[in-house]
Amino acid sequence: LYALDTTGHIRQTCPVPGTTNRDWEAVASDGSYLYLGDFGNNANGGRQDLRILRIAHLCTDSVQVDTIAFTYAGADSLIPGPANQTDYDCEALVATSDSLYLFAKQWQSQGTRTYALPKQPGSWTAQLRDSLAEPGLITGASLLDSARVLMLCGYSTTLQPFLLLCYDYPERRFFQGNIRRLKLGLSFHQIEAIDSPDGLTAYLTNERFSNVITTPAKLHRLDLQPFLGTYLLGPASTLAAAPINRFRLYPNPAGEAVTLDLSGGPDQPYALIDSQGRQIRQGQIRKGSQALPLQDLSTGTYYLITPTQKELLQIQK
């Protein structure tokens, strides 16, 4: 596995020992484990060894890998057939506090289904939770669980990529709330993955495509504030009327704590996320100076998000 920064440069290469890449298609994390979806099934639709690898201590000398094997409810035995004709392919995965959710890439139906799985190693049946008759092939997912925002990326059969924003839904019923479809304007880009640290900025990747024309692999940054800003941060008029808050962070790099010095504007919420976009903690910043404890965090890069800051504030420990 490769760790990329937000400019697309590879910062770390992490071996996954004792495994074989049959068809790795998706990565998700819950803060404790990394979940690697080895469940690609487009070759003939008949794959019998669908699995998710649960990985602990990645990029260390004590990597631990367990297997979550599964079949789809209603399709215990998949029958091989022509390539790219099955509705039981998958390239999108998210992790919550208690479950894994898979989003099917339906080559025939041109929609998607949501399946739920336990996160524990073993052999399970993925249970059908919901379906969405939205034309296109789903290839990636990113979830902000506490904010009830799910992003799904994909492309049409003519390689016209799109993004589905699902938000303000009942508890993990992802397709029962608001759904907005965005055309990405990247013709002949085979968009394969998406991640978002805060719901306001998304990063997407496309794989190299070559057929008459050649599109190289790229990382794309997408500003989603015009589409989700009001839902996540409140009405734009409220934000516009609020004085601009000015922060000072020190010391930076930090040790056991970093001091937040806020002058101007009202108190406001914050979230601290790590370099993989996982929320570490949240709280309230009040006018004046206050300490943000860091002693329980590993050495690395973290980011502070607030509603009135246009950019992420980087904290180095």
- The first and second tokens of residue 172, run together, are 């993990």
SS3 sequence of 176-230 = CCEEEEEECCCCCCEEEEEECCCCCEEEEEEECEEECEEECCEEEEEECHHHHHH
Counting every residue written for the chain, the total comes to 317
- Is the pLDDT at 310 greater than 70? The verdict is no
Q: What is the mean pLDDT of residues 136-143?
A: 97
- Is the pLDDT at 80 greater than 50? The verdict is yes
pLDDT digits (tens, 9 = 90+) for 24-34: 999 999 989 99
Q: Which residue has the higher pLDDT, 234 or 81?
A: 81
The predicted model scores a pTM of 0.75
With cut-offs at 50, 70 and 90, classify the pLDDT of residue 252: confident
pLDDT recorded at residue 307: 60
Q: Indicate the helix (H) or strand (E) that contains 239.
A: helix 236-241
Average pLDDT, the chain: 88
pLDDT digits (tens, 9 = 90+) for 168-190: 999 899 999 999 999 998 888 99
Domains of the chain: 2-233 (2.120.10), 242-316 (2.60.40.3080)
Distances (CA, A) of 300 to 97, 99, 141, 260, 276: 24, 28, 25, 18, 11
**Amino acid sitting at position 51:** R
**DSSP characters for 39-85?**
---TTTS--S--EEEEEESTTSTT-EEEEEEEEETTBSSPPP-STT-
In this structure, of 178-192, 234-248, 274-288, 289-303, the range with the lowest mean pLDDT score is: 234-248
Q: Give the other-Cβ count within 10 Å of 247's Cβ.
A: 16
- Is the pLDDT at 255 greater than 70? The verdict is yes
With cut-offs at 50, 70 and 90, classify the pLDDT of residue 277: low
Strands 213-215 and 209-211: antiparallel
- Is the pLDDT at 61 greater than 80? The verdict is yes
pLDDT recorded at residue 234: 76
- Is the pLDDT at 77 greater than 90? The verdict is no
